[in-house]
Structure 1
Amino acid sequence: MVSPPHALVIPYPAQGHVIPLLEVAHALADRGFTVTFVNTEFNHARVVAAGAGLEDGGRIRFVAVPDGMAPGEDRNQLVRLTMLMEEFMAPRVEELVLASGEGGGAGGKITCMVTDYNVGSWALQVARRTGIRSAAVWPASTAVMATLLSFNKLIEDKIIDPEDVDYDIGARNNRVLAHPAVACFVSHCGWNSTMEGVRNGVPFIAWPYFADQFVNQVYISDVWKIGLKAVADKSGVITKEHIAGLLAELKGDAGMRERVEALKKAAHESIQSGGSSHGNFDTFAEGMKKA
């Protein structure tokens, strides 16, 4: 009997990354993969406590590895965290791949790896050394990815001033957003939240904070036109009166509601059987099954 393909999924250890990689893990399990999901010990405890993955009958095996930081250390120090991950996580992940399948171990031999692009090159290097197929997932918008890949060109063309650039390394909302009483979504415009708002057909009040959130806000308010941007007053404060005014404007905008519903419909159609996103993931899964 041929064993099913076994995918090792590695997210970057931050909420905005763990959630989409967990969705990828479930999508792979839907297509016949055995899945091992590797978290840092710090995040592993949080994921298991939240019951993530258990709602589908425990199809996903969760494994914890050290991130190199002390228990009480600030994991918002992303540069330090990322550097330590290569030192402490890489050897453990490699051991996990090499030991898989021995003695009839859980899930059988690991045959492929799906890693968050932001984890860094060490994960793909582990895959190469151990001879398994690998792929990196970018869990944010393609617009941001295209900008990053064109960064040097944008500097050469003087579109971006490198001295002004701030370099950043980069509870599910679905049940709340699906409730009919929700009139709008006041969002920081992270990509997860943006997709959740779109899927549930909820207009946005966009209040970005950092990194790719500002790009996502432009798509929400200026390109797709499914929300309004919150703007600070002269004192730098976004007041409750301003938010109330935006909410009233959203509720009275029939065109906004039509655009929101049209985008929701397109999103749902794309992930159904025969839809573009569903088909693309099927193709990806089949490619990852190949030896």
Structure 2
Amino acid sequence: MAAAASQPRVMVLPLPAQGHVIPLMELSHRLVEHGFEIDFVNTEFNHGRVLGALAEKGAVPGGLHMLSIPDGLGPADDHTDIGALVKGLPTAMSGRLEEMIRSRKTKWMVADVSMSWALPLATAAGVRVALFCTYSAAAFKLRMNLPKLIEDGVLDENGNVMRHERVQLMPPVNAAEIPWVSLGSTPERRRTNIQNVLKTNRLMPLAETIICNTFMEMEPDALALLPNALSLGPLVATTSRPAGHFLPQDLACLTWLDRHAPGSVVYVAFGSSGVLDATRFQELADGLALSGRPFLWVVRPNFTTGVEEDWFDVFKRRVDGTGLVVGWAPQQRVLSHPSVACFVSHCGWNSTMEAMLHGVPFLCWPYFADQFCNQSYVCNVWGTGVKLCRDERGVVTKEEIESKIARLLGEDEIKARAATWKHKACASITKGGSSYQNLLKLVNLLREQ
């Protein structure tokens, strides 16, 4: 559909991380389908990665304009270090972003909540803003409640846990598992996280609405506490179109899946940013082998540290015929494949939504940020998965992995609940569903001048 002259040009601004680019790219596709011109702004580093991963010609539709801005880091710097990026992005991007807004006559911006520093800049330029939440509505509400948790003495202003207790929100989490606490690998980074949230929370009233990648039936209690939120999820790309991945996908794994019986394969993937040390990695490998089940395991570059290449080569030869290891998988197509029985996951929000959409039960292995909240949802609220427990060293052992795989695949009630949630998720995004209706509300809002 051609863009009408009266329709505004919408700028989309994601945090430069894989889990943030993917859902905002899917939202952009849906807005293009409604006739909008979308300016999708990546950092230069991620712009090149996204375009490089789009193997097929014509993957970027007309109406979606891929733009880029420097991130302020040098050629020798680690552009995947989100902590370093977040600290320098406002200074590095603000001037160029303001120029882009004015030159492209932007009327609306959809800004990642993790890029909230851009709200004053946008509103000063006369741009109306919709915030996009890349985590659950519950995690967003938890973010807004951080000042109260500090006031109540659960945390201090540096992100240190003062009272080790269960925070009774939806879903409940331990104080140490609050996203901006668990994300801090050092005291300084934890303090930076908390202070950044406290600062940017004060900017939230500049946004006219909050777009949430969830659906009403999934988080009714949390969404009831966010009266200006529009739940549009699951924002999951169709299997036929690109989703903004940074790495090329190994499509050969789909042929491998075709050779396996329905509900037989264990799918293992830990997202784009987490890292396992040698001990945890080797325990995972041995646990998968011990299970005796066919498995598809995504081991992206830099996923582990300290594992000898010779050891891993021996492991792959040992499981040849049973397990397949790939560098990056087309996750949508994998989760929708009938041979997949369960998903060993870090419980990132995108992966959580994707598995819910396809009715795949979880084995939960979170390690930072909102992943613990998502695990609590999966295990304590929705009942669609099982928690993998760590030993006294903080390690998930091969025996634990073997045991929980066997338990999950024998739990018919969990499978039934996962199938029920698949039906609800699909219904929400079809015509007349809650997310479908909210998308139309967003479209009408963005058409306002």
State the TM-score, normalizing by the size of structure 2: 0.59
User: Gaps (5+ residues) in structure 2?
Assistant: 162-180, 185-189, 198-244, 246-329
TM-superposed deviation, 1:4: 3.3
Is structure 2 residue 175 aligned with structure 1 residue 178? no
Question: What residue number does 1:197 align with?
Answer: 355
Identity of aligned residues (%): 42
Question: What residue number does 2:251 align with?
Answer: none
Per-residue CA deviations over 1:128-170 (Å, capped at 9, x if unaligned) read 1221221111110111111111112123234446422443489
TM-superposed deviation, 1:28: 1.1
Is structure 2 residue 137 aligned with structure 1 residue 142? yes
TM-superposed deviation, 1:14: 0.6
Question: What residue number does 2:92 align with?
Answer: 88
Question: What residue number does 1:212 align with?
Answer: 370
Per-residue CA deviations over 1:184-223 (Å, capped at 9, x if unaligned) read 0010011011001101110000000101101101111111
TM-superposed deviation, 1:126: 2.5
Question: What residue number does 1:115 align with?
Answer: 111
Question: What residue number does 1:46 align with?
Answer: 49
Is structure 2 residue 442 aligned with structure 1 residue 284? yes
Query: 1:64 is paired with a residue of what secondary structure?
Result: strand
Matches for 1:145-156 after TM superposition, within 5 Å: 145-156=140-151
Is structure 2 residue 44 aligned with structure 1 residue 37? no
Question: What residue number does 1:105 align with?
Answer: none
Which amino acid counterpart does residue 34 of structure 1 have in structure 2?
E
Question: What residue number does 2:172 align with?
Answer: none
TM-superposed deviation, 1:278: 1.2
TM-superposed deviation, 1:247: 1.6
Is structure 2 residue 29 aligned with structure 1 residue 26? yes
TM-superposed deviation, 1:58: 4.3
- Greater share of helix: 1
Contact kept in structure 2, 1:115 and 1:136, CA below 8 Å: yes
Question: What residue number does 1:10 align with?
Answer: 13
Aligned residue pairs total 282
State the TM-score, normalizing by the size of structure 1: 0.90
**Comparing both chains, which one has the higher relative contact order based on Cα–Cα distances under 8 Å and sequence gaps of 6 or more?**
2
- Indicate the larger mover: 163-172 or 75-84: 163-172
Is structure 2 residue 224 aligned with structure 1 residue 66? no
Query: 1:209 is paired with a residue of what secondary structure?
Result: coil
Per-residue CA deviations over 1:237-276 (Å, capped at 9, x if unaligned) read 2123322221221121111111001111101100111110
Contact kept in structure 1, 2:36 and 2:63, CA below 8 Å: no
Question: What residue number does 2:79 align with?
Answer: 75
What is the distance in 1 between the residues matched to 2:356 and 2:25?
A: 19
For the aligned residue pairs, the C-alpha RMSD in angstroms reads: 2.1
Distance 1:234 1:87, change over 3 A: closer
User: Gaps (5+ residues) in structure 1?
Assistant: 101-108
- Indicate the larger mover: 135-144 or 44-53: 44-53
Query: 1:184 is paired with a residue of what secondary structure?
Result: strand
